[in-house]
Amino acid sequence: MSKDQPNNPLARVVESQGFVVLDGGLATTLESYGYDLSDELWSAKVLLEDPQAVKQVHLDFLHAGADCVATSSYQASLPGFRKRGLSDSEGERLLRLSVELAIEARDAFWDEPTNRLGRVRPLVAASVGPYGAFLADGSEYTGRYGVDDIELREFHESRWQILAGSRADLLACETIPSRREADVLRVLLRETPARWTWMSFSCCDGTHLSDGSKLADVARDCDRDPRVAAVGINCTSPVFISSLIEEARKGTAKPIIVYPNRGERYDSETKSWSTPGEVVDWRQAAKEWTQLGAVGVGGCCRVGPGEIAQVRKELAD
């Protein structure tokens, strides 16, 4: 553990209650509420068109038991907004708005005294999605982008600086498919030394990131950065999570967080999800994953407030 670890916002939650419950899939929850997200901006489309709906989803996850909500900036970027015909100043405003909506939801939730019973003040994590999310072609599950490190940095840097200058408690680098992209993001982290982030990876099996890198090696890379608050696995099938927790622990002593999808596979051509082979028992899964060493559990795509409520019940019990 780093000597700076006591300042880690996630660690403060864990020290207070013994665990941290993450939220679920914001975009797919919006879809379940009737919003059409068949768009390259994905959840950022609703951020642009109906921001109060985004705030409501944050509130729904908080009421379900989430200790941390991630902003709607996963697929939001200045290049993405430019493709939509927006100016950079408008894109910057929307990125800041994604954070403010989450903060407004958190503060409204916390202002109700009954919501504080048995809870800690929730965190807001500014979501930083991979370059593949901007491409909107499913490559966040392969890491095969066809760009070099300089281009990756140019893509990430503008959004990173905006979110790092926001009121979010920390940044959440999510669904990172490759060791190379993680390296680029950790350089940006070192250039904003007052900031914390978690680094969470999409994995293709029980050992490897989507690009084939070993999770244990990437976790070891993250362990060397004192401002990496946690190492995570997300948007990965639940069947691989137990093995991945053990792999991550080989490389890091940092907190481990897991927030898998529901076990379905996304088809980037049809923009649809396949039906999973079996239903996930989220209470049992949360119990198993925390016993293996994860301190944080939540969900990603197709995991809604109902599943997060089950996770909360298990961990709080």
What is d(CA 9, CA 295) in angstroms, rounded to the nearest whole number? Answer: 13
> Whole domain around residue 173: which residue ranges?
5-316
Judged by DSSP in three states, 286 sits in helix
- Burial pattern 240-268, b for ≥16 Cβ within 10 A else e, equals bbbbbbbbbbebbebbbbbbbbbbbebee
pTM, entire model: 0.94
Helix 149-164 crosses helix 179-190 at what angle (to 10 degrees)? 40
* Cα Rg, the chain, nearest whole Å: 18
Q: Please report, in tens digits, the pLDDT of each residue of the chain (317 residues total).
A: 334 455 899 999 999 999 999 999 999 999 999 988 888 887 888 999 999 999 999 999 999 999 999 999 999 999 999 999 999 999 999 999 999 999 999 999 999 999 999 999 999 999 999 999 888 888 888 888 989 999 999 999 999 999 999 999 999 999 999 999 999 999 999 999 999 999 999 999 999 999 999 999 999 999 999 999 999 999 999 999 999 999 999 999 999 999 999 987 765 565 566 666 568 899 999 999 999 999 999 999 999 999 999 999 999 98
Angle 209-204-170 from CA coordinates, rounded to 5°: 50
Q: Are 251 and 220 in contact (CB under 8 A)?
A: yes
Closest CA to 54 of 89, 12, 118, 100: 100
Query: How many domains, the chain?
Result: 1
Q: What are the φ/ψ torsions at residue 214 (nearest 5 degrees)?
A: -75, 130
| CATH number for the domain that contains residue 293 | 3.20.20.330
Q: Cα–Cα–Cα angle for 128, 232, 287, nearest 5°?
A: 135
The count of C-alpha atoms lying within 13 angstroms of the C-alpha of 290, restricted to the half-sphere facing its C-beta, is: 21
